[in-house]
Amino acid sequence: MKTQITSMAANLPLVLAVALFAVFAVGLDNFASPQNTYANLQSFALLGLITLGLSMTMLVGEFDLSVGSMVAVAGLITLKVGGDDLVTGALVAMAFAFVVGTLNALVFVWLRLSSLVVTVGTMIALSGFAYWLAGGKIISTDNFDAGAFWDDAILGIFSARSLLTILAFIVMAGILKFTRLGRDMVATGSSTHAARACGVSIGRVHLFAFVLSSLCAGLAGVLLSISLATASATMGSNLLLQAVSAAIIGGVALAGGIGKPSGVFFGVLILTILNNGLSLLGASSAAILLTNGLLLLVVVVIDGKSGALLQIVRSKGLTRQA
Amino acid sequence: MKPEIPFAQKHLTGLNKVAIFSAWMMATATLSVTTSFSANAAAKDAKVILLTVSEECEYCSRHLQSFRQKAQEEGISLKVKITNFDPAEQASQVDQAIAERPDAIVLWPADASAIVPSLRKIKSAGIPLVVTNSLPDMKYSKFWDVYTGPNDKASGGSAAKAMEQGFNEKGYGEAGDVFLVVGVPGTPPQIGREEGFKQGLAADAPGIQIKGAQPGNWDQTKASEAASALFTQFGTKVKGVYAQADNMMAGVIVAAQRAGIDPSKLVLVGSNCSIEGVTAIESGTQYATVLQSPVQDGEYAAQAVVDLLNGKKPENVRYLPQQIITKANVSECNAAVGR
């Protein structure tokens, strides 16, 4: 019973993603077509990178609210510094993202402030920096070849951008499963005190999580600006809430200690598939937003119920043993 | 004794799940086929996708209504996708629209610069394309078949003529100070209208000097705040204001009244012929506006797509008429405000 409930909760994102895909594939002519699958994976690529980074801070029991602003700043740096030489721009943007992630972690660890407070400060500062960089304009480039490199279809449904995102998920899953750092992250999110007592370097874990989150958002911003050949101060402003929703739907607990890259992968796919399918059905943007909210509620309730069931089973088991 | 582990949990580790899904995607890839799009389908029963920017702004919603009506009259099967001025989301919608293999796409760019890579994709897919309302840089005009919509520079030029005309009618002669309340900085209408206005004044009324400009971001409240600051700075020296949209001019009028200035004494020139502007012109508080009808904007786009589908070759660029509207001809705005 206990394992069945655990299994149900763990596999909920996968089951939901497959079910949604199946429903839309049966009900809509074009949904499973290679072209539409490409469109789905392109949407997945953008949201996936941000959600992956954000979910790792959630896994260690913290939160990084600055990811949306980082997308805008990284995009602007890529085009402003790089001009037509987007490789240089991208490298500078990623270096900047590394510095911001490190600063987030250092301020959080040294001053022992809430990560929400620290990263809301970073979010506002980055937003101001983005407006200053943009100077009231939209920054653009005529270098469309770079965008074509990242976005042109590979095998009909993938692109270099979506493959890179999938690779990032696989690498992160490997880190969590096979390295001590990964295990330390889960332990820190479950109980910081217990993890510290077991010799886990909490500071190192937080540093890794915040830097990773910032780098993922930075990379998403770099790729988005290259893809659109444009950057602006408002780019990515809608992504934070979507990423939080995808992470929660993907089974990441807000309290920390629970969550896997595979779950997050399917959490992002669920939102992507749902939005794409509803759009193909001709649903209005209001209806799509409403459905996203309802889905989040349903997943939270199912997750909560299965968690509660698990508690009951555990307590019954303990009573029996006693 | 070990508890029995369910099959799914035992075998579906995180990495395996990703691998299974990737394999599924790969299987779908094998179905990939090159599809050619029929460029010359007749308009009746043709499948057209309209990618537009918002349902919430009044202009956008009137544009959509008039497009829908015209499409319905022509028997077009229309699908509408809306984004809230989000260029990243619109890029995804373009990918999706291409996947639906429509007979034509009509696109209102959320951002006239960021849309260019998507225009390239539509062109590569061979789908006829009408760009409406926001004109991307003309150097990319090879990526679309027709642009219909406003000519923002000409609109600014008309506003400059209206300002000059108003100065004469109100007895200020050929010289005086004015200020500008502009839209979201960096957007094509803000840039084009400001450029046209400045060039128009420099050419025909060099005595009228622009003393300041503040963004009102197409928003009445923000415009009111911007105008308050400018009225405080320049006071009664100001003889005229150009607000790049009538709803922003409504904010300017409120700011003038709060500053103790009678708005009817000023030469207030707005733009768009929206209901705020029409009402203020009728009551005499606003001097003029420049017609830009959302109804015509939508109709022009629909007509362009009908022409394309029927095999005609419309002009590459078709601008809306943008005449000066004052109290004498305010009835010209009736269609634009749904009267």
Please give the span between the terminal C-alpha atoms of chain A, in angstroms, as a whole number. 19
B83 touches chain A (CB under 8 A): yes
Q: Which of A85, A62, A81, A75 minimizes the C-alpha distance to A218?
A: A75
pLDDT given for residue B109 in this prediction: 92
Confidence check: pLDDT of B10 > 70: no
Whether residue A27 is contained in a domain is answered as no
* Nearest residue, CB atoms, B18 vs list A147, A169, A232: A169
- Tell me the C-alpha distance between A70 and A96, whole Å: 9
CA distance B322 to B270: 12
Nearest-angstrom CA–CA distance, B294 and B213: 26
Please enumerate in sequence order all residues whose Cβ is within 8 A of that of A238, keeping only pairs 6 or more positions apart, or say none. A68, B84, B86, B89
Q: Which of A121-125, A166-170, A307-311 has the lowest mean pLDDT?
A: A307-311
What is the reported pLDDT for A161? 96
pLDDT in tens, B140-154: 999 999 999 999 999
Of residues A10, A156, A266, nearest to B32 (C-beta): A156
Confidence of residue B36 (pLDDT cuts 50, 70, 90): very low
For the domain with range B152-290, which CATH number is right: 3.40.50.300, 3.30.1490.190, 3.40.50.2300, 3.20.20.70? 3.40.50.2300
Residues A197-229 have pLDDT tens digits of 999 999 999 999 999 999 999 999 999 999 999
User: Tokens representing A155?
Assistant: 């095998």
Using CA coordinates, name the residue in chain B closest to A17: B21
- A4: in domain: no
Q: Which of B18, B22, B28 sits opposite A32 (nearest CB)?
A: B28
pLDDT at B21 over 90: no
Q: Do B15 and A41 touch (CB under 8 A)?
A: no
Q: Are B193 and B271 in contact (CB under 8 A)?
A: yes
Distance from CA of A102 to the nearest CA of B (A): 28
Residues of B in contact with A269 (CB under 8 A): 21
Which residue from A35, A109, A50, A57 is spatially nearest to A246, judged by alpha carbons? A50
Q: Tell me the HSE value of B254 on the side-chain side, using a 13 A CA sphere.
A: 14
CB pairs under 8 A between A and B: 162
B114·A232 Cβ contact <8 A: yes
Whether the predicted pLDDT of A285 surpasses 80? no
Handedness of CA B286, B292, B294, B299 (dihedral sign): positive
Please report the pLDDT score of residue B149 as a whole number: 95
Q: What is the pLDDT of residues A68-127, one digit of tens each?
A: 999 999 999 999 998 878 999 999 999 999 999 999 999 999 998 999 999 999 999 999
**H or E element, residue A311:** helix A285-321
The reply to whether residue B99 touches residue A14, judged by beta carbons under 8 angstroms, is no
CATH number of the domain within which A54 lies = 1.10.3470
Q: Which residue of B has its CA nearest to A22?
A: B24
End-to-end CA distance of chain B: 81
CA gap B197, B212 in Å, rounded: 13
Least Cα separation, residue B303 to chain A (angstroms): 22
H or E stretch at B131: strand B129-132
User: Under an 8 A CB cutoff, do A46 and B6 touch?
Assistant: no
Evaluate if residue A4 carries a pLDDT over 70. Answer: no
- Give the residue among A250, A270, A91, A244 at the shortest CA–CA distance from A173: A250
Mutate to test the interface with A, among B17, B84, B119 (most CBs of A within 10 A): B17
User: Residue A32 domain-assigned?
Assistant: no
CATH 3.40.50.2300 domain locations along chain B: 47-148+294-318, 152-290
Domain interval for residue A121: 38-319
pLDDT for residue B170 is more than 90: yes
Mean pLDDT across chain B: 87
Closest-CA residue of chain B to A220: B88
In this model, does residue B12 exceed pLDDT 60?
no
pLDDT tens, A13-49? 999 999 999 999 999 988 999 999 999 999 999 999 9
Asked if residue B26 has pLDDT above 80, the reply is no
Q: Which of A14, A56, A186 to mutate: most B Cβ within 10 Å?
A: A14
Mean pLDDT, chain A, whole residue set: 90
Burial of residue B210, with CB atoms counted within 10 A of its CB: 0-12 exposed, 13-18 middle, 19 or more buried: middle
CATH architecture classification, B47-148+294-318:
3-Layer(aba) Sandwich (3.40)
pLDDT of residue B4: 45
In a mutagenesis test of the A interface, which of B1, B7, B10, B18 is the best target, namely the one with the most A β-carbons within 10 Å? B18
Considering only residues 1 to 20 of chain A, which have any Cβ-Cβ distance to chain B shorter than 8 Å? Answer: 2-4, 6-7, 10-11, 14, 17
Choose among A157, A227, A261: nearest Cβ to B14: A261
Residue of A230, A238, A242, A266 to mutate when probing chain B, most B C-beta within 10 A: A230
Q: Which two tokens stand for residue B65?
A: 């209504």
CB contact under 8 A, A34 and B4: no
The phi, psi pair for B245, rounded to 5°, reads -155, 150
The bridge status of strand B47-52 relative to strand B77-82 is: parallel
- A134 in contact with B at a CB cutoff of 8 Å? yes
Check residue B302 and give its pLDDT.
97
pLDDT digits (tens, 9 = 90+) for B178-202: 999 998 776 778 888 999 999 999 9
Closest CA of chain A from B157, distance in Å: 22
User: Domains in chain A: how many in total?
Assistant: 1
Q: What is the distance in angstroms between the Cα of B121 and the nearest Cα belonging to chain A?
A: 9
* Mean of pLDDT values over B127-131: 97
Q: Do A230 and B82 touch (CB under 8 A)?
A: no
Q: Smallest CA–CA separation between A99 and chain B, in Å?
A: 26
Model confidence at B6: pLDDT above 60? no
Is B17's pLDDT higher than 80?
Answer: no
ipTM greater than 0.85: no
Query: What single DSSP character describes residue A19?
Result: H
Q: Which positions 163-202 of A are in contact with B (Cβ < 8 Å)?
A: 166, 169-170, 173-174, 177
Provide the percentage of residues in chain B whose pLDDT is more than 90. Answer: 68
Cα separation of A249 and A272, whole Å?
12
B182 touches chain A (CB under 8 A): no
A289-315 mean pLDDT = 74
Decide if B186 and A265 are in contact by the 8 Å CB cutoff: no
Which of B6, B79, B95 has the CB atom closest to A42's CB atom? B95
Kindly tell me if the per-residue pLDDT of B57 is higher than 80: no
User: A46: nearest CA in chain B?
Assistant: B88
Pairing of strands B208-215, B238-243: unpaired
Partner A, chain B 4-23, Cβ-Cβ below 8 Å: 4-6, 8-9, 12-15, 17-18, 21-22
**B21 with A43: Cβ contact below 8 A:** no
